[in-house]
Structure 1
Amino acid sequence: MKIDKIMMKKTLLAISLSIFVSQSHAGIRQYQADLGSSQWQLTNASRLECTLSHNIPNYGKAKFYSRANRNSNMEFELDMLRLPDNYSLAQVRAIAPNWKPGIAERTIADMKLHKQFSPDLPKKVAWTMLSELEQGMNPTFYYDDWYNENDRIAVGLSTSRFNKAYQEFIGCVGNLLNYSFDDIAYTVLNFEFNSDQFTKASKRRIAMITEYLSLDTELELVLVDGFTDSYGGRATNQKTSEQRANKIRDYFVKNGIDPSRIEAKGYGEKRHIASNDTVLGRAKNRRVVIRMDKE
């Protein structure tokens, strides 16, 4: 009986020592801005993109951003100073700050960590994190350190100075264009028969493109190509196609777009996209194509 008790004590002591050793070697490195250093800023504020940024000392930057699009969108990116060195998962949890005792933490999502890429999260999770911050919770990322297998990393987003910047961010998001660059990068405008007058649909489209060009000054070159159907003389059609292309160029310039950004050419009857034997086909061939490209 005494032997059994002695063995049990030795076993318990061994377990206790094992736990103590593992705890002493497996630490958590915490990265989070304190009350004094926490800053949230609206770093991009235009009708093309809105970005809400938060610096995390010695770690990097957290960024929520939304871009002009026909559908509402939101993304989150954790811009690390030291990128992941392998593939793994980080768990995202909402943690209550010290001044909100008794509130249990909750898991928001898992985030994939890709080798040598800053990790990101999609719309629904990004909005959930913003909602948690608005309620005073700290979204926190937990993952195993890929440079030190004995450590875990905890990266927290502070709620300090969040609300004012968040309200500015939401206002910016609400003012984004409801279309994106991809929606207008390749645009076909059509004209009335034997005319350089736009159809109604084309008028709306050219207004959208002009608005986008006025906002995106980094888009350096816009190509405007004019075409006609095959009715009428070839020389006349060539002239008409040039008039159509130049009309759009003039429209852009009149609305404040730098002329050096617009290159207009006419191609006459060349490059038909439909049959000239039907009214509908000829209408499709009377067109100007606007092409834009980004690096």
Structure 2
Amino acid sequence: MRLRLLVLACLLAPSANAITFQTRLENAQWQVEGDQFECRLSQAIAGFGKGEFVRRAGEQPTFRLQSPDRWFGTGAATLLAAAAPWQPERNDLNLGVVSVAGGDIPFNSSQLQAGRLLTGLLEGRSPVIRHRTLQGGDALEVRLLPARFGKAYEDFRVCTTKLLPVNFEQIRQSQIGFPAGDIALDALGQAKLDIILQFLKADPSVNVIQLDGHSDNSGNRLTNRDLSRRRALSVEAYLIANGVPKEQITVRFHGERYPLVPNSSEANRAKNRRVTLRLDRGPAAVSATAAPTAPAS
């Protein structure tokens, strides 16, 4: 074991023309934090900040670095799953580039890259990021270590089982469809609303709900306007029946005036028969019945 540590220290020592950040092997620790909105699996990097995997509700994990000193220059950094020094039969895996934009969090990897990094860590590989410094353009390498990763990864997986099925960005504007000529919610519409209701119960700060009813152009204007109104009211009634205060909901209706797509086919008309549900944070909206000039689409 002492020989392994000696080899590791030699191979990971910064070269004369490079700046390298990593935590000493004996100090490397992985930490898991999270709630029903987000889970994080991180390792502190001595002198730099930290690297972390972040899985938000409704998404797969991504990988990122955080550094208050903003070491990275802008451009494309190389992301590697580096082989352990005591496994000479393995090569480093080049996972491609990440786009560095600067700031405290210089980049976020793709979900595919993060998945391959997690697999690599379970195999004893190290996430490595190679780039250039913001000042001077010197070669820069940041490395995380796989030490004590297995138990932390299991804790991370347990955290992810408690995540909500969606995050706010995924539902802040949703479409609830309706069959032709119908005003009743079908099973798919109820299922969509049930997911939204689950999020609303978890995050009471989302307390502004705007409903915009729409129709296709199959009927006359008055019939279409009434259909769009009754569809919006059907969604409102479902939300209220499931615990949403009525004062948090604004209902508007527009008939056929604002189609998503041209009413040129049955498939397109089906897309236009909808209620758009828009969520926001703030004081409860005041109910309004006047049609707006720019409705939610």
Q: TM-score range by the shorter chain?
A: 0.5 to 0.7
Tell me if the contact between 1:108 and 1:128 (Cα under 8 Å) persists in the aligned partners: no
Aligned residues: 262
* 226 and 28 in structure 1: CA distance in 2 versus 1, 3 angstrom threshold: closer
In the aligned structure 2, how far is the partner of 1:293 from the partner of 1:163? 39
Q: Distance in 2 between matches of 1:87 and 1:96?
A: 27
Q: Does residue 1:169 correspond to 2:159, yes or no?
A: no
Change (3 A) 1:89 1:264: closer
Q: Which residue of 2 aligns with 1:32?
A: 22
Structure 1 CA distance for aligned equivalents of residues 32 and 15 of structure 2: 40
- The 3 A distance-change label for structure 1 pair 43 and 257 is farther
Whether the 8 Å CA contact 1:234–1:268 is kept in 2: the answer is: no
Which of 52, 57, 73 is the equivalent residue of 1:63?
Answer: 52
User: Is 2:94 the counterpart of 1:108?
Assistant: yes
Asked whether the equivalents of residues 95 and 139 of structure 1 are also in contact (C-alpha less than 8 Å), the reply is no
Moved more, 129-138 or 48-57: 48-57
CA-to-aligned-CA distance 1:18-40 (integer Å, 9 cap, x gap): xxxxxx99244332223554332
User: Do structure 1's residue 140 and structure 2's residue 128 form an aligned pair?
Assistant: yes
**Rg larger for:** 1
Residues 111 and 120 of structure 1 are in contact (CA less than 8 Å); yes or no, is this contact kept in structure 2?
A: no
Give the whole-Å Cα distance in 1 for the aligned partners of 2:122 and 2:278.
Answer: 42
Question: What are the superposed Cα offsets for residues 132-190 of structure 1, whole Å, 9 maximum, x if unpaired?
Answer: 211223222333434345x5433211223422221122234455555664367231343
Q: In the alignment, is the contact (CA less than 8 A) between 2:21 and 2:45 conserved in 1?
A: yes
Query: In terms of mean alpha carbon deviation, does 177-186 or 200-209 score higher?
Result: 177-186
Give the aligned partner of residue 19 of structure 1: none
Question: Is the alpha carbon distance of 1:38 and 1:45 closer, same or farther for their aligned partners in structure 2, counting shifts above 3 Å?
Answer: farther
CA spacing shift, 1:233–1:178, aligned 2, 3 Å = closer
Which residue of 2 is the match for residue 255 of structure 1?
242
Contact 2:212/2:254 (<8 A) preserved:
no
Report whether the alignment pairs 1:41 with 2:27. Answer: no
Detail structure 1 runs of 4+ shifted over 6 Å in the superposition: 228-235, 279-286
Q: Within 2, Cα distance between the matches of 1:126 and 1:66?
A: 10
Contact 1:96 1:105 in 2 (8 A): no
Instruction: Give secondary structure in 1 for the equivalent of 2:119.
Output: helix
TM-score by length of 1: 0.66
Residue 293 of structure 1, CA deviation? 5.5
2:77 counterpart of 1:89: yes
Distance, in Å, in 1 between the alignment partners of 2:19 and 2:257 is 64
CA distance in 2, matches of 1:147, 1:280: 56
Aligned Cα root-mean-square deviation (Å) = 4.4
Contact in 2 for aligned 1:188/1:288 (Cα 8 Å): yes
TM-score, scaled relative to structure 2: 0.65
What does residue range 71-82 of structure 1 map to in structure 2 within 5 Å? 73-82=60-69
Query: What is the match of residue 53 of structure 1?
Result: 42
SS at match of 1:222: strand
Tell me which of 176, 184, 208 is aligned to 1:221. Answer: 208
